[in-house]
Amino acid sequence: SQRIAVCQMRATNDKDNNFIQVKSLVEKAKDQGATFIFLPECCDFVGENRQETLKLSETLSGSLVEAYKNLALSQNVWLSLGGLHEIPPESPIPPSKIYNCHIIINGEGQLATSYRKLHMFDVDTPEFRFRESEVVAQGPGIVMPLDTPIGSLGLQICYDVRFPEVSGILRSRGAQILTYPSAFAYATGVAHWETLLRSRAIENQCYVVAAAQMGFHNRKRRSYGHAMIVDPWGEIVANCEEKELEVVVVDLDLDKVASVRRNMPCEEHRNMCRNIYSRLPLKIHPESEGEFDFGGFAIPKETVFYESVHSFAFTNIRCVVPGHCLVATKRSAKRLAELSPEEIGDFFNTAVIIQSLLESFYGVSASNVTVQDGKEAGQTVTHVHCHILPRREGDFSYTDKIYSELRGHDSAPIADNRRPLEEMVGEAQKYRDKLKSQTS
């Protein structure tokens, strides 16, 4: 078993005092034998208004994250710091918006992974009104579970707990522990906090670790507290209740995760229904590193401008029309029929995303979206892929001539008439910039 600690604190707009609290909690947890310590959302600070929040925010290369790294290194512990106010790279100072960013720092003081919150807390209740999206930008995608000394860890933040789709995706990708660092509003905490955490634990057969803020941060904002750890059977095994500066340690038993899943194999039963429904993540983050394989050809990472869980889009070495791009499956498969239902859904969804991107980029309203499925259909690279070709009026002498052009465009030897790599890389960067502008 591995000993972990869940922590509770009351952050304010005093960053120095907040760090003193974090350091005290980490030292206290380490003294009790914890090797992985979970801190809450807003452990860096809680601003009193939008302007102050933006002013106090930092990049992940800033002095505060550096201090957290040094703390992890000096104590030789892993830290989950959930919901830091991150200035996005290349943003002006002060930024117009920030990310709500959950980071994991390993025992060597290195950043192991980071996740930006997806779901914005924009709510109106009888007790309060809150608009997180006025300050925080939506994160770019789901972060796959991280292998750690305590098990496979799936990262979320606070309000994400209300959306079981993502926790289910993380579970299906191997997560044994789900973590929801939070600054949960008091009114909704009283009503829903425990129920939500236990639900995510039970339905995913995972440990759920939820560090929390507690008390009044300022005159307008109060958090519920009750930092918790819930086991995969739904039992609460740690609860900080409403104590302002508190640590509770628990020995995680991954054998219990395995036994619960073995005795009630929900994921196996879910997979038996995969032809009826699926858990399909459409956008992951960060993207893969290194080259992609395309029927034995290496596709440079720099020419890839979009990536989903099972597919990727890249610029073409020869274009039938300007903007002619390809979408291919990550797994090497020769025919569509070799793909799983989830891969098929992901592949065609990616094709639609890229079609929409290219039509917007080139200012056109029509495309050919073509799969050449087999040699006789014109497939020259034996790897499932789709051609996306933005169309313009009068681009061919007759509309369907594009099919004969497409059939012959790869008939030349691979080295002949191919575009320079720099041109393909530059084009891919333009598409990435366009995608970023559409989602920002």
Return binding residues for substrate.
Answer: 316, 372, 378-381, 387
Binding site listing: 316, 372, 378-381, 387
> Tokens at residue 419, please?
């575009």
Q: Report H helices in 147-297.
A: 164-172, 186-204, 254-263, 266-271
Give the whole-angstrom CA distance, residue 423 versus residue 85: 37
User: How would you write 259-275 as a 3-class SS string?
Assistant: HHHHHCCHHHHHHCCCC
Answer whether 235's CB lies under 8 Å from 258's CB: no
Q: Which candidate in 102, 310, 324, 385 is catalytic?
A: 385
Q: Is 133 left (phi over 0), alpha (psi -120 to 50) or beta?
A: alpha
Q: What is the spatial distance between Cα 252 and Cα 149, in angstroms, rounded to a whole number?
A: 11
Does the annotation mark 226 as catalytic? no
Three-state DSSP at 334 gives coil
**Cα 392 from Cα 365, distance rounded (Å):** 8
Catalytic residues: 385
